[in-house]
Structure 1
Amino acid sequence: MLLERFDNVDALRKELEIIKSTDSAEARTMPSAFYTLSSFHELEKEEIFRKEWVCLGHVGEIPNTGDYFTSELIGEQIIVSRDKENQVHVLSNVCRHRGNLVAQGKGNKRSFVCEYHAWTYDIDGTLKTAPLMKKVKNFDYKKCSLPRLNSEIWNNFIFVNLDGNADPLSPQLKKLDKILHNYHHELRNLLFTEESVWNTNWKNLTENFMEGYHLFATHPKTLQPMTPTQLCKKVPGEDAWTAYRSYYDPSYPPRGPFHEDMTEDEQKNSVLFNVFPSFVIAVAANYTLYLCLRPVGVDKVAIRWGIAGLKEDPNDPEVVAYIDLCKAFNIEDKEKLETLQIAQNTRYYKPGYLAPYDLEGTIWDFLNYMGRKLGSDVDII
């Protein structure tokens, strides 16, 4: 028998409104169309990714003057750069002349040159030269800089807000800062970065990272022996974030070295959290693993992920071993999430109950966040 269909935006928005008024004891999943409906994905692009804070990467990717990397977010081309004054800029990567790209990939430059007509910009986006444009009567160099996008750095992570109207991010994360304080992530060096694309909806990966229920089944040899499902503990979140602690198996070797500020309890767990909508991160006693997620389609997500730690040498055998571990469990997650995306095209799935609070309460927080942004009771212009 075919079940109730949620094959339109209005139906999904109504379901999100209902979720907000549902008691957490009745926490349940969303219909599969939440992850597969193209028109709902278009709504997310405009109402979530254009209006919210989205993480683009780590400051360690651009440590020196002239360093830059490029990115893309819902079709907007972006440059992240560090200028001569050591300031980080998030710029539109579109020439002010005819709209071509001015930079590609990553590297170090003294200036950005559009290869179409050779307009040249300083690393901070200021227009330096525009061949033959002095002959244009009203042309003004000062009015032709690359647009600077609303950006903020929190805990060494670079965030952008495309529409420029979001409330400052850092004040929304003060309680999370207190939880993370003794781990001292800010002292950790960037040791590894990589980019990839998975064939799954961005929400599938966000939810997967943020729940410990799947560890015993999906990661029986990589993560379950170290951070077993049974020892996960939910952390009360707020409107801008959700989190849980993944405690280490007592028989597993200590995960030092530990910062002197860390309590005995903090030495025994990692804090995994989601800064809504799409930044997920695990701060362990010795390393930080993070994933910056950007949708590139209803069934594809771009991932810029990396690892930071107190060690300085990325070739240190311990660092290499941790990177290899992360790659191994990422492969396991990718396999499950790509088959999940295929299965979600069904018309026979009926939303079910979420696992207990400590195991999937973070997903309930995430769904409530989506409800606050996209529920049918929310005015969307």
Structure 2
Amino acid sequence: MNTPKNVANLLQDISAVALASDDALFSMPPQVYCDEDLLTLERERIFRRDWVCVGRADEIRDPGDYFTSDLDSVPILVVRQKDGSILALVNVCAHRATIVATGTGCARAFVCPYHAWTYALDGTLLQAPRMGKDFDSAGVGMTQAQLTEWNGFLFVSLDPDARPLLPRIVSLDHAVADYRIDKMRTLHRETFIWNCNWKILVENGLEAYHINATHTDTLAQVAPVSKVRMVDGPADCFHYTSGLSDSFVPDKPDPKIAIANPDIDEARQREAVVGGIFPSFVFSVSGDWVWWISMQPISARSVRVDHGLCGLFDIDQDLIDRNHPNLYFLDLALAFNEEDRVRVEAVQRGAESGLARQSRLSPLEAATKRLAAYLTQSLEN
């Protein structure tokens, strides 16, 4: 693919952001949030090649449990196997390419609703009715996609030769090791569409500079920006640490619902880690809960957002009491999500004005430099 001149110029601008001194950080040019040609390159070299989070392992706890998703417009089916492992299948029938499964559920096998071709949990073709005696089903089945798990999060890649994810994010392993994220249960899940470029939302999720102004009555009351410390690291991931406000004292865990975590002491309970795995996964873990989002571009000006909240609580989603003091974060997260939506959509409108310019950034916005380094590494390859 020949790179259009406008995209080549934007790649040079992005590279300059990545190479800037830590003492003189500056933003990416507004055009990177609006250019459809750049998005075409991002989809080809990032979202078709790298790892994107599609959900959590605890959402499919038993053999046959499954959920469906999409990765760069490719339908994906994630299934718990009989041996307890998890596979990701391209959710397309090998016969006439219709979608095989929808939504979530539990199945012994998958029957295509079009012509009743039947597949095992691993995508192997089991039955193809009335195909004739000479039909050979050997090697026929649903295509497998790459899947890897990190702390209970499931990442899928469409590239069979994708660079392994886990060796690239070791620094994040050390940062969150005490929190037992892999043992947490999903308490809330939703998917929504916001009217902004995917990179705007990644930057917003990983910078702390906006917290006190944007989240004055919500997040800033719990974890103010004064507690933030940026952490250096590789181009494939990013994180910073924070702490709870001195005036914020969470209730003691309720033994009726809480899962004990002997790995974390009281001081660590009052810390938080905000992190991201590029291209588009952002999370925050504090004490016994995690907020996360995973983003995929729909267009240069809109993004699909998969969002979840998890916690060290042994409770089903259907039985959640949102007024329980240990579950304060459920409504808190919904509130600051909406505050972020308003701001990132306003940034998109400003970027599209044609009058916005690059600007110096605060040290609390260091993630922009790291994202630019990741983009340079991925897009110029």
TM-score by length of 2: 0.92
1:203 lines up with 2:205 in the alignment:
no
* Whole-angstrom distance in 1 between the partners of 2:150 and 2:285: 14
* Whole-angstrom distance in 1 between the partners of 2:291 and 2:43: 26
Alpha-carbon deviation of 1:7? 8.9
Residue 354 of structure 2 corresponds to 347
Residue 334 of structure 2 corresponds to 327
Residue 295 of structure 2 corresponds to 293
Residue 224 of structure 1 corresponds to 220
Decide which of 10, 13, 32 is 2:11's aligned counterpart: 13
- Equivalent residues of 1:189, 1:312 under 8 A apart: yes
* Whole-angstrom distance in 1 between the partners of 2:52 and 2:136: 33
Residue 336 of structure 1 corresponds to 343
Matched residues, number: 367
Unmatched segments (≥5 aa) in structure 1: 1-5
* Whole-angstrom distance in 2 between the partners of 1:130 and 1:11: 52
Output one character per residue of 1:307-345: Cα deviation in whole Å (capped at 9) or x when no partner: 111111241423553211111111111111112212211
Give the aligned residue type for 2:285: V
Residue 41 of structure 2 corresponds to 43
SS of 2:344 mapped into structure 1:
helix
Give the aligned residue type for 2:314: E
Taking the TM superposition and a 5 Å limit, the aligned residue runs for 1:249-260 are 249-254=245-250, 257=253, 259-260=261-262
* Whole-angstrom distance in 2 between the partners of 1:271 and 1:159: 20
- Equivalent residues of 2:36, 2:300 under 8 A apart: yes
Output one character per residue of 1:17-55: Cα deviation in whole Å (capped at 9) or x when no partner: 223332222211111111111111111001111111111
Q: What is the percent sequence identity of the aligned residues? A: 35
Output one character per residue of 1:249-296: Cα deviation in whole Å (capped at 9) or x when no partner: 112114754833225542222101001111111111121111121222
SS of 1:123 mapped into structure 2:
coil
Output one character per residue of 1:59-115: Cα deviation in whole Å (capped at 9) or x when no partner: 111111111111111121111111222221100111111111111111122222222
Unmatched segments (≥5 aa) in structure 2: 254-259
- Equivalent residues of 1:32, 1:346 under 8 A apart: no
Deviates more, 1:315-324 or 1:112-121: 315-324
- Equivalent residues of 1:244, 1:362 under 8 A apart: no
- Equivalent residues of 1:112, 1:123 under 8 A apart: yes
- CA shift in 2, pair 1:220/1:20, >3 Å: closer
* Whole-angstrom distance in 2 between the partners of 1:286 and 1:156: 15
* Whole-angstrom distance in 2 between the partners of 1:253 and 1:320: 13
SS of 2:356 mapped into structure 1:
coil
1:173 lines up with 2:169 in the alignment:
yes
* Whole-angstrom distance in 2 between the partners of 1:301 and 1:249: 32
- Equivalent residues of 1:73, 1:295 under 8 A apart: no
Deviates more, 1:169-178 or 1:216-225: 169-178
- Equivalent residues of 2:293, 2:306 under 8 A apart: yes
- CA shift in 2, pair 1:307/1:348, >3 Å: same
1:113 lines up with 2:111 in the alignment:
yes
Decide which of 69, 92, 103 is 1:71's aligned counterpart: 69
SS of 1:15 mapped into structure 2:
helix
Output one character per residue of 1:103-154: Cα deviation in whole Å (capped at 9) or x when no partner: 111112222222221111112211111111133x3x3223111011111111
* Whole-angstrom distance in 2 between the partners of 1:288 and 1:270: 10
1:162 lines up with 2:158 in the alignment:
yes
Taking the TM superposition and a 5 Å limit, the aligned residue runs for 1:86-97 are 86-97=84-95
Decide which of 371, 374, 377 is 2:376's aligned counterpart: 371
